Structure 1
Amino acid sequence: MYNILIVDDEIEILELIEVYLKNDGYNVLKASNGEDALKIIDNEDVQLAIFDIMMHGVDGLQLCMKVRNKYNIPIIMLSAKSQDMDKINGLSMGADDYITKPFNPMELLARVKAQIRRYFYLCGANKVEDNKDVLEVKDLTINKRNHKVYAYGEEVKLTPTEYKILVLLATERGKIFDSEEIFKSIWKEKYFDGNNTVMAHMWRLREKIEYDPKQPKIIETVWGVGYKIDE
């Protein structure tokens, strides 16, 4: 479940957005000012933030700039103004999208979905310094924080075993793993010659992540030796 932070000093707006986001399955965090929002972001695992520009104290533009200095989460700005300069200012401070009040809640929901989808395809880490939790290999993105895998921009559903095999190979790119090494690492059991377990799982894994499983480009076979993922 994704955590969405809403920051607005209008309680009615907070509650309206909260209802739509919760109905769509998101977990909602709320703040009515920039100071509280910063505390939440520092202490919670936030995947996306929605900031109102016009707030007392730390306004949305200042908040966006402060957050962007430390975090790489998507930010959507809200404003009652519709002038181009407000949009330009918001985007120049690091916002990813901008929507003008009054807005259609369904449009805001669609933009939230689009930003989260783009975020996890291309980045996936909450904090900039936490990018070690994301492995990017060719057309593959592995988010170790939430165990999500994207191939060619689409999320793929892996079994826990398939995921472990993929992470093992992707973590040590360039290293060739033979079937025995993979089996012992994943299943934690003694390996016997003729055991086709790894081969079977590898085929199913390739069916999910490779554009053409018969000519794999991500997980390569080193004939007579084993498997590897290169840079």
Structure 2
Amino acid sequence: MPNEILVVDDEDRIRRLLRLYLERESFEIEEAKDGKEAYQKAIEHDFDCILLDLMLPEMDGISVASKLREQKDTPIIMLTAKGEETNRVEGFESGADDYIVKPFSPREVVLRVKALLRRTQGSTTEQSEPHARDLIEFQHLIIDNDAHRVKADQKEVNLTPKEYELLIFLAKTPNKVFDREQLLKEVWHYEFYGDLRTVDTHVKRLREKLNRVSEEAASMIQTVWGVGYKFEVAEHDEPAQ
């Protein structure tokens, strides 16, 4: 089945341009011209990715993403004419997984969509070869990196792309403490000096989702006060990869 993309922008020209380039790559495209329409469509249908403009009538992109994140984990790429760091931080805090500043090249958007989908969808070739799977296993948590799937105490946990990337980054180096600046650079590929709420917000969401099915799995993500975070495991529970 082709991937379905929701393109949200109040400018007809931009929506048509993105539709043209994305349909060339065999994506199926749905459009929305304001925030309320975008939110309604995103709730009613499971899109593979949403291209979401920040400045929208009726409801802005930050509000759409924040409200959507309360119910769904759909990958979101934020589009905006504002390139200031504060807008980027707001976008990431609201749950966006990537960020593209206007004016942009449509080809760049297509490449970013493909890259995001690769991170969220497992390779069928890899999935057909169980012996070759990229697994990180703990007593209460299993991360299947080929299928992009997380299970806590045998129950599946649905994560956004950034929540997943944050979890696997921490889990690959158990008991190592990372400060917030390191996590922004390694997980978001973004150096930002100042407001570090982006990391805290994602850690909080990640813990909440894990805690719904396993308190033990959630407790592995530890806050190191005054420093940052670590993925804590006992020596006997080191990952089997």
TM-score by length of 1: 0.53
**Letter aligned with residue 57 of structure 1:** E
| Distance in structure 1 (CA, Å) of the matches to 2:17 and 2:38 | 18
- Which whole-Å CA distance do the structure 2 matches of 1:59 and 1:98 have between them? 15
- Is the aligned partner of 1:153 residue 2:154? no
Residues 184-206 of structure 1 deviation map (CA, whole Å, 9 limit, x = unaligned): xxxxxxxxxxxxxxxxxxxxxxx
Q: 1:70 to 1:13 in 2, by over 3 A?
A: same
RMSD: 2.6
CA distance in 1 between counterparts of 2:82 and 2:37 reads 24
- Does structure 1 conserve the Cα–Cα contact (< 8 Å) formed by 2:6 and 2:31? yes
Query: Shift in Å at residue 41 of structure 1?
Result: 1.5
SS at match of 1:113: helix
Residues 154/69 of structure 1: CA separation in 2 closer, same or farther (3 Å cut): closer
Q: Which amino acid aligns with 1:67?
A: L
Where relative contact order (Cα < 8 A, 6+ residues apart) is larger, the structure is 2
Per-residue CA deviations over 1:63-87 (Å, capped at 9, x if unaligned) read 0101111111110001111111111
Q: 1:1-231 counterparts in 2 under 5 A? A: 1-121=2-122, 139=134, 153=146
Unaligned runs of 5+ residues in structure 1 are 123-137, 141-150, 156-169, 172-231
Which residue does 1:188 correspond to in 2?
Answer: none
In structure 2, relative to structure 1, the CA distance for the partners of 1:154 and 1:72 (3 Å cut) is closer
- The ranges of structure 1 where at least 4 consecutive aligned residues each deviate by more than 6 angstroms after the TM superposition are none
Report SS of the residue matched to 1:29: strand
SS in 2 for 1:46: coil
In the alignment, the residues of structure 2 paired with residue 72 and residue 45 of structure 1 have an alpha-carbon distance, to the nearest angstrom, of 10
For 1:58, the aligned partner's letter is: M
1:108, CA displacement in angstroms? 0.7
Residues 1:52 and 1:43: Cα distance change in structure 2 (over 3 Å):
same
> Residue by residue, what CA displacement relative to the aligned partner does 1:3-54 show, whole Å, maximum 9, x if unpaired?
1001110110100000010000100010001111122122223110011001
Q: Specify the SS of the correspondent of 2:122.
A: helix
Query: What is the rounded CA distance, in whole Å, between the counterparts of 1:52 and 1:27 in structure 2?
Result: 19
Number of paired residues?
133
Report the residue type matching 1:106 in the other structure: R
Q: Could you state the TM-score of these two structures normalised by the residue count of structure 2?
A: 0.51
Residues 68, 152 of structure 1: alpha-carbon distance in 2 compared, 3 angstrom cutoff: closer
Q: Is the 8 A contact 1:3 1:27 kept in 2?
A: yes
Structure 2 runs not aligned, ≥5 long: 124-132, 136-143, 149-153, 156-241
- Aligned counterparts of 1:96 and 1:152: Cα–Cα separation in 2: 18
Larger radius of gyration: 1
> CA separation in 2, counterparts of 1:63 and 1:152?
29
